[in-house]
């Protein structure tokens, strides 16, 4: 299953989950509405019985209890009609509309369509009928789930479009950054080769000129290979980390200013890890360039390798301007940069290479402004 199929599968699962949650919400809200409706029916029946008792002249004794029952109905609208169909009483209707033409008859028809009528035997052969509607609470309870689901659906829709826009913007940013990173990667060996051309034209040819030019050409081949591997699964080989680090740092050291001082503290014993050497060199190069920029081309760079409990630790420290603690995670996001002419992709690529391809970790271990900033890479020791 490719990445597109995985995303499509996840979207389907999320859609089905949303439908399931919506269905469950509606089901239980309707069950609750039915219970409330049954309770309201019982209240109207009780109210109707109380009305019968109050209107029955043969009933003697204290009727205050029934009077209280009648007064307690302050929410359920009801209309009472006699045996001829004439409205004799109503309760909890809009008083401002009662005088309007056909208002009561329309409400009566509405109540007939809403609930089953309740009969009140008044006397022999005389039966009044109570028609009632739904209280405002019950109406809100019926419509509330639909309103909530509508708001949630709107929120999800807006969030989806916002996420899609953000993702497209990030993808565009990554592509632009990748193009600039390509130019940046090619810049070092090309500048070096142009310098050698100038040396040749001046007729001054050092003994190691051919070797250094060969290194730059090899670097161009490595860069080409790096970018050709983007998007594909890299091949990892057991590599001695001390030696790999030494070679990576040496290339950068010979092409950095004389005011940048390099120091490598290798592990006292061989360190074997599973590496893709080209991608690892890329990480070291990005971290080294960032450190040199942070030191403004002047300071100390230190690399330290250690191991314990099957884990290998590579710490890269510089004496640059430092990183605020609240930016420790942000700096690894695509597009983040503090450089005026930066593009913010180097650390993002470094994290992808270490975490996704080598199943390791990379993070800012510590940072003290103008004192020391340390990046730590954690890898597993090869079996």
* pLDDT attached to residue 341: 44
Q: Indicate the number of domains in the chain.
A: 2
Do 129 and 256 share a domain, yes or no? no
> Does residue 98 form part of some domain?
yes
**Confidence check: pLDDT of 46 > 50:** yes
Do 128 and 244 share a domain, yes or no? no
> Does residue 44 form part of some domain?
yes
Which residue spans within the chain are E strands per DSSP? 78-81, 87-91, 118-123, 126-132, 237-240, 260-265, 272-275, 299-308, 311-318, 361-368, 372-380
Do 112 and 249 share a domain, yes or no? no
Indicate the angle between helix axes 209-228 and 241-254, nearest 10 degrees.
Answer: 120
- The range of the structural domain enclosing residue 60 comes to 3-134
Does residue 66 contact residue 54 with C-beta atoms inside 8 Å?
yes
* pLDDT attached to residue 174: 62
Cα dihedral value 341, 347, 353, 358, nearest 10: 160
> Does residue 154 form part of some domain?
no
* pLDDT attached to residue 336: 60
> Does residue 229 form part of some domain?
no
> Does residue 146 form part of some domain?
no
Do 116 and 241 share a domain, yes or no? no
Which of 85, 108, 134 marks a domain boundary?
134
Task: Please give the average per-residue pLDDT across 133-162, as a whole number.
Answer: 79
Lowest mean pLDDT among 27-41, 43-57, 148-162: 43-57
> Does residue 224 form part of some domain?
no
Do 239 and 373 share a domain, yes or no? yes
Q: How confident is the model at residue 383 (pLDDT cuts 50, 70, 90)?
A: confident
> Does residue 187 form part of some domain?
no
pTM over 0.75: no
CATH number at residue 362: 3.30.565.10
Does residue 346 contact residue 285 with C-beta atoms inside 8 Å?
no
Do 244 and 130 share a domain, yes or no? no
Task: Please give the average per-residue pLDDT across 117-142, as a whole number.
Answer: 77
The runs of H, that is alpha helices, within 256-345 are: 277-294
> Does residue 201 form part of some domain?
no
Does residue 261 contact residue 302 with C-beta atoms inside 8 Å?
no
The closest alpha carbon to 150, from 22, 330, 342, 299, belongs to 22
Per-residue pLDDT reduced to its tens digit, 108-129? 888 888 888 878 777 666 778 8
CB neighbours (10 Å) of residue 91?
Answer: 17
Contacts of 234 (CB under 8 A, 6+ apart): 276, 279, 357
- The whole-angstrom separation of Cα 204 and Cα 154 is 72
Per-residue pLDDT reduced to its tens digit, 294-322? 898 899 999 999 999 999 999 999 999 88
Three-state secondary structure string covering 73-124: CCCCCEEEECCCCCEEEEECCCCCCCCCCCHHHHHHHHHHHHCCCEEEEEEC
- The whole-angstrom separation of Cα 43 and Cα 344 is 69
**Confidence check: pLDDT of 338 > 70:** no
Report angle CA 147, 153, 157 to the nearest 5 degrees: 145
Does residue 205 contact residue 199 with C-beta atoms inside 8 Å?
yes
Which of 108, 134, 160 marks a domain boundary?
134
DSSP secondary structure code for residue 58 in this structure: T
* pLDDT attached to residue 232: 67
* pLDDT attached to residue 343: 42
Does residue 377 contact residue 210 with C-beta atoms inside 8 Å?
no
Which of 81, 107, 134 marks a domain boundary?
134
When the pLDDT of each residue in the chain is averaged and rounded to a whole number, the result is 80
Lowest mean pLDDT among 201-205, 334-338, 349-353, 371-375: 334-338
* pLDDT attached to residue 184: 67
Indicate the angle between helix axes 136-201 and 209-228, nearest 10 degrees.
Answer: 160
- The whole-angstrom separation of Cα 305 and Cα 105 is 90
**Confidence check: pLDDT of 131 > 80:** yes
Between 257 and 181, whose confidence is greater? 257
């Amino acid at each position: 299953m490719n990445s597109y199929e995985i995303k499509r599968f996840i979207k389907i699962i999320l859609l089905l989950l949303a439908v399931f949650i919506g269905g469950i919400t509606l089901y239980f809200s309707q069950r609750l509405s039915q219970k409330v409706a049954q309770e309201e029916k019982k209240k109207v029946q009780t109210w109707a019985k109380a009305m019968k008792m109050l209107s029955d002249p043969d009933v003697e004794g204290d009727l205050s209890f029934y009077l209280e029952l009648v007064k307690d109905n302050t929410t359920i609208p009801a209309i009472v009609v006699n045996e001829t169909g004439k409205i004799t009483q109503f309760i909890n209707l809009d008083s401002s509309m009662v005088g309007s033409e056909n208002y009561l008859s329309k409400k009566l028809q509405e109540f007939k369509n809403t609930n089953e009528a309740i009969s009140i035997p008044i006397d022999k052969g005389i039966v009044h009928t109570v028609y009632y509607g739904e209280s405002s609470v019950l109406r809100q309870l019926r419509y509330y789930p639909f309103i909530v689901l509508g708001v949630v659906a709107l929120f999800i829709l807006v969030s989806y479009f916002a996420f899609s826009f953000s993702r497209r913007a990030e993808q565009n940013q990554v592509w632009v950054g990748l193009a600039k990173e390509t130019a940046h990667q090619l810049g070092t060996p090309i500048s070096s080769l142009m310098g050698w051309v100038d040396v040749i034209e001046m007729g001054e040819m050092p003994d190691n000129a051919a070797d250094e030019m060969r290194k730059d050409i090899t670097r161009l081949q490595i860069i080409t290979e790096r970018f050709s591997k983007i998007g594909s699964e890299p091949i990892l080989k057991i590599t001695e980390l001390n030696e790999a680090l030494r070679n990576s740092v040496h290339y950068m050291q010979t092409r950095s200013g004389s005011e940048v001082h390099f120091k490598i503290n290798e592990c006292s014993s061989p360190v074997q890890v599973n590496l893709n050497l080209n991608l690892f060199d890329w990480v070291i190069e990005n971290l080294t360039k960032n450190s040199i920029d942070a030191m403004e081309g002047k300071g100390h760079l230190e690399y330290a390798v250690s191991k314990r409990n099957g884990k290998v630790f590579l710490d890269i420290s510089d004496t640059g301007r430092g990183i605020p603690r609240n930016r420790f995670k942000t700096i690894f996001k695509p597009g983040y940069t503090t450089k005026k002419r930066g593009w913010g992709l180097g650390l993002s690529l470094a994290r992808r290479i270490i975490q996704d391809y080598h199943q390791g970790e990379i993070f800012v271990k510590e940072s003290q402004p103008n004192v020391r900033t340390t990046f730590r890479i954690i890898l597993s020791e090869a079996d």
